[in-house]
Homo-oligomer: A and B are copies of this chain.
């Protein structure tokens, strides 16, 4: 283990940095060859591999003033592995491309590696490879690999009229955490943690596949936006039942605290009651990386799957409504706009 205390990434040099990162990131049980060669080799026992990549950019997806290196590592790993789980697959390995200014503290980079390893380990995976470069700001690109254990992938397309739509995991907690941080409200640590270090229940993905899920997605852009992807891919009309989304006490209290604290409420918060704000977080807040899936109405869903809507029998596919009406308000996150 290399001592990072008081040193910068430039002090370590490329090989020192790679050694420091690699020492903190075990390759996991699926790695046949990990960090240190031209490529990694990862078991793909079912004869195909599930793969997804996600970017995490400083200033765009995280702020160094809000997030520790550990936080960023967890978040980067979670984003990519949630995409694997959303296919019904088990995450097996991560590849991490990492660029940073030479002045970045080596300790921060070491914590990043620990965060990546921690979240990968929680999912049963490991870090098998990567790349490093120098850049003006910190950026990560994490590729996650996964295995389907012989099952067919659960796609966005496939939701059928009459299906129930259910969610495993929280909705709006990450958005609440973001709003709390932005408003400078120094409480509700669980919600702030949900924003900084999302903790998707990856095992819900394969579980949904076994339960017969007809379509699935991870909630990264917001429930309305992501169910919109499912609705369009499936040619289905998904109606969300807002009564199933009534926020818990903590979310409601956080909304009240944000509303009280916000001297300059953001565009999306302006004029909303705390209850409406909390509901908006649940409907449009992204980055929870919870799983949303459609199931046949006969599916026996375990408790973690909360039914929050239904695929309508009527035609008029490719859209999402809330209580039967088009959703009024910002639908979720879109880059480049």
Q: Mark the stretch among A92-100, A259-267, A277-285, A298-306 that contacts chain B.
A: A92-100
Contact residue among B43, B53, B135 (Cβ-Cβ distance under 8 Å from A129): B53
A155 and B37 contact, Cβ closer than 8 Å, known pairs A47-B45, A141-B141, A335-B133: yes
A137 in the interface, Cβ–Cβ < 8 Å?
yes
Distance A152 CA – B57 CA, assembled complex (angstroms): 36
B51, A134: Cβ atoms under 8 Å?
Answer: no
Q: Mark the stretch among A142-150, A189-197, A246-254 that contacts chain B.
A: A142-150
A42 in the interface, Cβ–Cβ < 8 Å?
yes
A171-205 at interface with B (beta carbon < 8 Å):
none
B39, A89: Cβ atoms under 8 Å?
Answer: yes
Distance A33 CA – B216 CA, assembled complex (angstroms): 15
A233, B36: Cβ atoms under 8 Å?
Answer: yes
Contact residue among B54, B102, B336 (Cβ-Cβ distance under 8 Å from A10): B336
Distance A15 CA – B232 CA, assembled complex (angstroms): 13
Distance A54 CA – B17 CA, assembled complex (angstroms): 16
Copies in the complex: 2
A47, B50: Cβ atoms under 8 Å?
Answer: no
Distance A145 CA – B86 CA, assembled complex (angstroms): 20
A38 in the interface, Cβ–Cβ < 8 Å?
yes
Give the residue name and chain of the B residue nearest to A10 (CB).
B336
A314 in the interface, Cβ–Cβ < 8 Å?
no
- Name the residue in A44, A84, A337 with the highest tally of chain B Cβ atoms < 10 Å from its Cβ: A44
A121 in the interface, Cβ–Cβ < 8 Å?
no
B49, A153: Cβ atoms under 8 Å?
Answer: no
Distance A177 CA – B15 CA, assembled complex (angstroms): 27
Distance A89 CA – B40 CA, assembled complex (angstroms): 11
* Chain B residues with CB under 8 A of A207: none
How far in angstroms is the closest Cβ of chain B from A87?
5
9 A-B pairs whose Cβ atoms sit less than 8 Å apart in the complex: A38-B216, A39-B50, A42-B51, A51-B95, A55-B141, A97-B141, A132-B335, A133-B335, A136-B137
Q: Given A39-B153, A136-B136, 17 other A-B contacts at CB below 8 A?
A: A9-B336, A10-B336, A10-B337, A14-B335, A38-B52, A38-B87, A38-B216, A39-B89, A39-B144, A44-B49, A51-B51, A51-B93, A51-B129, A53-B130, A55-B131, A99-B139, A139-B139
